[in-house]
Chain A
Amino acid sequence: MEQTKKSYFQKIILIIVGIALFLLPFAITNPYIMYIINLILIYALLALGLDLIVGYTGQVSVGHGAFFGIGAYTAAIVAKKVGLSFWLTLPFSIVITAAIGFIIGFIGLKLIEEYLVMATLAFGTIIWLVFLNWTDLTGGPMGIAGIPAPPTIKLGGFEFPFLQYHDYYPLLLIFVYLGILITRLLIRSGFGRACTAIRDDELAAQAMGIPVFKTKVTMFTISATFCGAAGALYAHFLHVVSPETFTFSMSVTILTMVMIGGQGSIAGAIIGASILTISSEALRETPELRMLIYGFLIVIMIMFFPKGIMGLIQIIKRRFLQKNILIEKSSVEKEGLGYE
């Protein structure tokens, strides 16, 4: 209803930037940088997924690394043992993570917040131990190597093979866009609003007729599915999966991305994923100090920017745009009068 020309303008810019980002590989020659960007995209998808349940629904999970792992392993197993290509392993991963996500959500979301944290922690640890010990299926500690790249995409006369990191970028970017799109569509619907209401005040939400448990479980399932899709992409991108990738610390990393970027914000999830991936790569120069600095940064960030970077930006913007808001308000008032 306040769809002004300005917001259309914003949309157009957004679309242009979105398309322009596809051209990024032409600007980057160093494959290592490309590799990092690809990793960021995978992490962004994970962070978006976790943000759905943590940021938008207010339910904390420290087990989403396990969903990531389930997605990756499902893709790896289906690809290696059945011999299906990426386009078929992906739906497999999605369906399986959705099913397990539903079950875990159904069990865990009956609990109060603090206990949900514990339950997801337990779940994540169990899944990791299963990866490690079910050697026949998962390859045990060796993991599964040699997962094939997605098949070459043929579009008319053009062929897009997946040979180097530059080739994966558009595919991953499309999935991140898809994630952003789904998030936006969900958030701006009755369902998404129900989730935010639950986050803010469960009792009041319920009094408005929102089926709290059902909504939470649905969102948890969707959130797990995001991670499952990210897992399938990861498996086919890195060609190898192994249990240590999907330990508790992966769950924590994703959660930290969401927290540092700012909960309940699409941009926040992407910023969080970028910052953590880049800082983790940049600190590679000093392997002994890397995790030390990383831990320290997390503490500092969470102490001083409790709402993450998006929260910080919000504050700055509010300061700067005070004037702007006043002007807009008066125009809004006019519009209101006109309506009458």
Chain B
Amino acid sequence: MRLSKKLPIKKISLFIILAVLLVGCSATKSTSGGGSSSSKEGRTINIGLQAPMTGDNAQYGQDMRNGVELAIKKINSEGGINGKQLKLMVGDDKATPSEAVAVVNKMIMNDGVKGIIGGYNSSPTLAAQDVSGPAKVLHLNMGASPDLSKTGNKYLFRVILTGSVYVPAVLKYMAEEKKVKKIAALFENTDYGITMYDAAKESAKDLGVEFVTTEKYNPGDKNFSAQLSKIKTLNPDAIMVVGLYNEVALIEQQAKQAGLKVQFFSPDDSMYSQQLITLGGDAVENHIFASMIDLNAGTEEMKEFKKIAEENKIPAQANTAIAYDAAMVLAKALEEGKGDPEKSRESLANIDYKGITGPIRFDENGDRSNSPMIMQVQKGAFVVIKESE
């Protein structure tokens, strides 16, 4: 009895300790935060990267980080923007909305970032832009969902194409050039997979293509034998796979093992990674997808990018290039804004920048409207089989 009567004292003392701890934390944080907020006048500008750094999507986050770091290195070595150096704050959103909100909160409110690149996935981005929008922080994402065009957030821009651009392009190619009629869809049960599938269903009507079956798999699944066996019995002309490249590689491997010989294609350039070929081997040969970037293009920008990638011993992946571009335009917008978020936004909305991923311009929804090219894996390399229109 006496012991339990003591509880309050414990609680009080601990609450006080806790409070002190919290205040202590906030004090240390605000000194670091203060450092960055004084950076308005000081020598650095913080930029945030919101991307999955752990978990199943971590590889994409790593690619993005490489790209952004390359860009920042280049900018800083050339004297920074308006005489200030850029500093990258990496936040791991674990590809989940709640973590994304947490990291973006921290970046904006504690680290005082002026712009955010990311996330890679749509639903974390959708959740995070709820925080970045009201704070007037530029947010350049790589999500696929059309919902990202409908947020009404003027500070949200998308540096890749939307699913509603990629999907019709590749589907049109399949229908017209490959004469495909019956398609089986196999997509990951995430917003990305569903978005792409919905877009495909939409444009399939106009092209006279039919989806004979739609199979889903849960994120992280590595065993697709059940779905593939089912698809095999339906004998489709082609299979549209929507997923992460390593899973796509696995799917095609397992299809090959199951004796399923059919044309595979997927909507976008998230396939565009050397890893696809490393993992898939000859099983991914002939895989077709739409892409906004060709790493073998002979443009000046591409050459330069590849050069600094090589100098820094970073693999030149598509996502790395896209993130690199994003960081470059963000830096440009911040430079022109001169610390005023409204002006920076204005500048980004009207930007016309020649990037490695082609010309970068944003429409009123913050989306790019380049038209993609069609690529295919041929002899272990990515080859453009149809130039962008």
Q: Do A and B bind each other?
A: yes
Listed in ascending order, the chain A residues whose CB lies under 8 Å from chain B are 1-3, 7, 10-11, 13-14, 17, 21, 24, 27-33, 35, 37, 39, 129, 132-133, 135, 140-143, 145, 188, 238-242, 244-245, 265-267, 270-271, 274, 278, 281-282, 284, 287-288, 290-291, 310, 313, 317, 328, 332
Per a CB cutoff under 8 Å, which of A14, A28, A31, A291 touches B11? A14
Residues of B within 8 A of A282 (CB): 25
Instruction: Give the docked Cα–Cα distance between A245 and B101 (Å).
Output: 12
Q: Is the CB of A287 within 8 A of B53?
A: yes
Across the A-B interface, give the 5 residue pairs with the lowest CB-CB distance, nearest first.
A32-B109, A287-B92, A244-B96, A142-B191, A10-B8
Q: Is the CB of A244 within 8 A of B10?
A: no
Q: Is the CB of A145 within 8 A of B97?
A: yes
Over the window 64-97 of chain B, the binary record of Cβ atoms lying under 8 Å from chain A Cβ atoms (1 yes, 0 no) is 0000000000000000000000000011101111
Cβ of B371 under 8 Å from chain A: no
Instruction: Give the docked Cα–Cα distance between A217 and B98 (Å).
Output: 31
Query: Knowing that A33-B29, A244-B98 are A-B contacts, what are 18 other residue pairs whose CB atoms are under 8 Å apart, sorted by A's residue number?
Result: A3-B5, A32-B29, A33-B25, A133-B218, A140-B194, A141-B190, A142-B122, A145-B127, A188-B4, A240-B97, A240-B123, A270-B18, A271-B18, A274-B18, A274-B22, A282-B25, A284-B106, A287-B92
Closest CB-CB distance, B269 to chain A, in whole Å?
21
Residues of A within 8 A of B102 (CB): 35, 39, 281, 284
Q: Is the CB of B12 within 8 A of A17?
A: yes
Which chain A residue lies CB-closest to B4? A188
Q: Is the CB of B33 within 8 A of A145?
A: no
Per a CB cutoff under 8 Å, which of B90, B98, B108, B145 touches A242? B98
Main secondary structure of the interface of B (DSSP, over half): helix
Q: Is the CB of B16 within 8 A of A287?
A: no
Residues of A within 8 A of B122 (CB): 142
Within 8 A of A (CB), among B143-160: 145
Residues of A within 8 A of B194 (CB): 135, 140-142
Cβ of B235 under 8 Å from chain A: no
Q: Is the CB of A313 within 8 A of B12?
A: no
**How many of chain B's residues have a CB under 8 angstroms from any CB in A?**
55
Instruction: Give the docked Cα–Cα distance between A12 and B22 (Å).
Output: 24
Cβ of B309 under 8 Å from chain A: no
Within 8 A of A (CB), among B121-163: 122-123, 126-127, 130, 145
Interface centre among B15, B16, B33, by most A CB within 10 Å?
A: B15
Residues of A within 8 A of B12 (CB): 10, 13-14, 17
Which chain B residue lies CB-closest to A72? B98
Over the window 211-234 of chain B, the binary record of Cβ atoms lying under 8 Å from chain A Cβ atoms (1 yes, 0 no) is 000000011000000000000000
